[in-house]
């Protein structure tokens, strides 16, 4: 079977974005090279290269890298002093923005030793074309201890011939309907100009904030929302705090939320299958009222999630893809949220004590947010261009404060509507909409 890049993959390929995660371990796992050499055999794309098909033979294809060598992908480094999380994030930031060579499989794994308390960390970096977030979690599930048994295909298999590629491409074209219509993208009005939109440079800096999944879920549920709604509430509140400190004020921010069009996948079926959900969200005011409003907004937009491929195709056709990415003012920031393992896992018999998501901002979006849960831990990474976000530490502090206030809400919450006359506690699971505009 021909493993061909999808139309969504092509968008990710053009963006050049790289993503990943930091797997924080209780100790040095020892020979991680041998472990990964064995376990990547269950994930076909980790031993495949993406190559262009001959003219007229369709999109690029993934072929087995006959010269695959695990030592080209796995290396060790010692974390600079003092070996704390900030130093680890600096190492990770330099790796996630370093372009992976397209002459070999598009991933890397870096074991970082010399961390405080004798810990270690494995930094995994993937080109986004290899997989989206759901696929990335499937890869992780195959690398950790206790991974389900997977059949290992013969390696390397011969690349398909030009005739086979042409036949496959034309068969796919003939299956397309005569008229292709794309759903109308429900995009908010153009975002208000502010300092969040500036052309980004080559540097990136990352920091984190944390919360309890169960506490955020309980707080959000009482206001008719989800953990993702609580995250959006914290993000908008934190950005409002920072913008106010810059002398700016926006009543709402346009947030682009990547949404997977599949609930799960396997390591044998990676690639990208995502849509975008751009939403205009309120910023200041009472956070409980804001949470209720955000929950209502995201519910109303979930049916309007569409692929970004039509926009990409149109801008590319007019030779404006790069210009659009670097000059758009339709989105102020990106917020990604992935549901990781529900229970603690091990890697090479070492306990995984934390998972930190890695991403990068693109175009003229100077700051973005990526969240990943692990057991009851909810870690949000804030990634920014430090030349345009010199107040990143203040933003991270404001985000942590918002998360703490959301998580510490009493189990019986009073009505969030500031104009509501009710002062009775809300029953668990019931949300109040009185007093909302």
Please give the tally of structural domains in the chain. 2
Alpha helix positions (H), 192-320? 213-222, 227-245, 287-301, 309-317
Please indicate, yes or no, whether residues 250 and 165 belong to a single structural domain of this protein.
Answer: no
Residue at 288 is within a domain: yes
Residue at 193 is within a domain: no
Residue 433 has pLDDT above 50, yes or no: no
Whether 373 contacts 339, CB under 8 Å: yes
Cβ neighbours around 52 below 10 Å, total: 10
Cβ neighbours around 35 below 10 Å, total: 19
Closest CA to 97 of 365, 355, 360, 325: 360
Please indicate, yes or no, whether residues 156 and 217 belong to a single structural domain of this protein.
Answer: no
Residue holding tokens 């030349």?
A: 387
* pLDDT on residue 310: 53
Per-residue pLDDT reduced to its tens digit, 153-210: 888 999 988 888 999 888 887 876 655 444 455 555 566 889 999 988 889 999 999 9
If one compares 96 and 322, the residue with the highest pLDDT of the two is 96
Please indicate, yes or no, whether residues 252 and 123 belong to a single structural domain of this protein.
Answer: no
Residue holding tokens 């998972």?
A: 355
Per-residue pLDDT reduced to its tens digit, 8-62: 787 777 777 888 999 999 999 888 889 999 989 988 889 999 999 998 888 899 9
Sequence-distant (6+) residues with CB within 8 A of 404 are 211
Give the structural domain span for 214.
Answer: 205-407
**Cα–Cα distance between 313 and 319 in angstroms, integer?**
10
Q: Among 83-87, 171-175, 305-309, which is the least confidently predicted range?
A: 305-309
CA distances in angstroms from 51 to 17, 58, 80, 103, listed in the order given: 18, 11, 37, 9
CATH number for 57? 3.30.559.10
Q: Among 22-26, 69-73, 269-273, 299-303, which is the least confidently predicted range?
A: 269-273
Please indicate, yes or no, whether residues 392 and 262 belong to a single structural domain of this protein.
Answer: yes
* pLDDT on residue 327: 56
Residue at 416 is within a domain: no
Q: Binning pLDDT at 50, 70 and 90, where does residue 4 land? A: confident
Among 175, 193, 225, which residue terminates a domain?
Answer: 175
Please indicate, yes or no, whether residues 218 and 364 belong to a single structural domain of this protein.
Answer: yes
Please indicate, yes or no, whether residues 166 and 222 belong to a single structural domain of this protein.
Answer: no
Residue 324 has pLDDT above 80, yes or no: no
If one compares 215 and 422, the residue with the highest pLDDT of the two is 215
Please indicate, yes or no, whether residues 267 and 164 belong to a single structural domain of this protein.
Answer: no
CATH number for 235? 3.30.559.30
Section 369-398 average pLDDT: 96
Q: Binning pLDDT at 50, 70 and 90, where does residue 419 land? A: very low
**Cα–Cα distance between 130 and 100 in angstroms, integer?**
11
Residue 435 has pLDDT above 70, yes or no: no
Please indicate, yes or no, whether residues 21 and 169 belong to a single structural domain of this protein.
Answer: yes
Residue at 196 is within a domain: no
Residue at 26 is within a domain: yes
**Cα–Cα distance between 3 and 11 in angstroms, integer?**
17
Please indicate, yes or no, whether residues 217 and 104 belong to a single structural domain of this protein.
Answer: no
Instruction: Please tell me the number of Cα atoms within 13 Å of 97 on its side-chain side.
Output: 18
Per-residue pLDDT reduced to its tens digit, 117-149: 778 999 999 988 887 767 678 888 888 888 877
Residue at 200 is within a domain: no
Please indicate, yes or no, whether residues 87 and 167 belong to a single structural domain of this protein.
Answer: yes
Which residue spans within 313-397 are E strands per DSSP? 333-338, 346-347, 350-358, 367-374, 377-384
Q: Among 88-97, 207-216, 319-328, which is the least confidently predicted range?
A: 319-328
Following DSSP, what letter does each residue of 93-153 receive, concatenated? HHHHTSPPPTTS-SEEEEEEE--GGG-EEEEEEEETTTB-HHHHHHHHHHHSTTPPP-PPP
**Cα–Cα distance between 149 and 419 in angstroms, integer?**
57
Dihedral in degrees, nearest 10, Cα atoms 140, 26, 17, 57: -30
Reported pTM: 0.85
Please indicate, yes or no, whether residues 156 and 269 belong to a single structural domain of this protein.
Answer: no
Residue 372 has pLDDT above 50, yes or no: yes
CA distances in angstroms from 407 to 218, 245, 288, 373, listed in the order given: 8, 25, 12, 15
**Cα–Cα distance between 418 and 287 in angstroms, integer?**
10
Please indicate, yes or no, whether residues 54 and 122 belong to a single structural domain of this protein.
Answer: yes
Residue at 236 is within a domain: yes
**Cα–Cα distance between 60 and 286 in angstroms, integer?**
50
Residue at 437 is within a domain: no
């Amino acid at each position: 079977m021909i493993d061909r890049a999808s139309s969504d993959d092509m968008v990710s390929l053009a963006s050049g974005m790289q993503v990943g995660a930091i797997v924080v371990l209780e100790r040095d796992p020892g020979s991680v090279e041998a472990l990964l050499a064995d376990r990547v055999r269950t994930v076909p794309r980790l031993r495949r290269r993406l190559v262009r098909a001959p003219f007229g033979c369709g999109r690029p294809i993934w072929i087995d890298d006959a010269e695959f060598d695990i030592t080209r992908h796995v290396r060790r480094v010692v974390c600079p002093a003092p070996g704390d999380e900030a130093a680890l994030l600096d190492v990770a930031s330099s790796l996630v923005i370093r372009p992976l060579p397209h002459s070999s499989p598009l991933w890397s794994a870096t074991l970082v030793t010399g961390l405080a308390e004798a810990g270690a960390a494995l930094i995994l970096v993937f080109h986004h074309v290899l997989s989206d977030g759901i696929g990335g979690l499937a890869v992780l599930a195959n690398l950790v201890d206790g991974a389900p048994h997977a059949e290992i295909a013969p390696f390397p298999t011969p690349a398909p011939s030009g005739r086979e590629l042409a036949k496959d491409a034309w068969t796919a074209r003939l299956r397309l309907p005569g008229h292709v219509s794309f759903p109308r993208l429900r995009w908010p009005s153009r975002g208000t100009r502010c300092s969040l939109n500036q052309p980004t440079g080559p540097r990136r800096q990352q920091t984190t904030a944390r919360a309890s999944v169960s506490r955020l879920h309980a707080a959000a549920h009482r206001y008719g929302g989800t953990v993702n709604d609580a995250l959006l509430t914290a993000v908008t509140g934190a950005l409002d705090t920072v913008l106010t400190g810059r002398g700016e004020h926006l009543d709402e921010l346009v947030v682009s939320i990547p949404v997977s069009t599949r609930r799960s996948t396997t390591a044998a079926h990676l690639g990208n299958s995502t849509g975008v959900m751009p939403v205009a969200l309120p910023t200041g005011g009472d956070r409980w009222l804001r949470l209720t409003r955000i929950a209502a907004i995201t519910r109303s937009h979930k049916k309007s999630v569409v692929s970004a491929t039509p926009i990409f195709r149109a801008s590319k056709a007019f030779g404006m893809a790069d210009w659009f990415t670097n000059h758009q003012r339709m989105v102020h920031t990106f917020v990604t949220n992935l549901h990781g393992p529900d229970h603690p896992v091990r890697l090479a018999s070492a306990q995984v004590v934390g998972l930190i998501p890695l991403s990068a901002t693109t175009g003229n979006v100077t700051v973005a947010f990526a969240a990943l849960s692990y057991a009851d831990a909810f870690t949000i990474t804030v990634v920014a261009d430090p030349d345009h976000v010199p107040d990143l530490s203040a933003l991270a502090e404001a985000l942590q404060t918002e998360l703490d206030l959301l998580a510490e809400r009493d189990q019986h919450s009073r009505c969030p509507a500031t104009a509501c006359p009710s002062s009775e506690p809300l029953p668990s699971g019931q949300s109040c909409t009185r007093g909302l505009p």
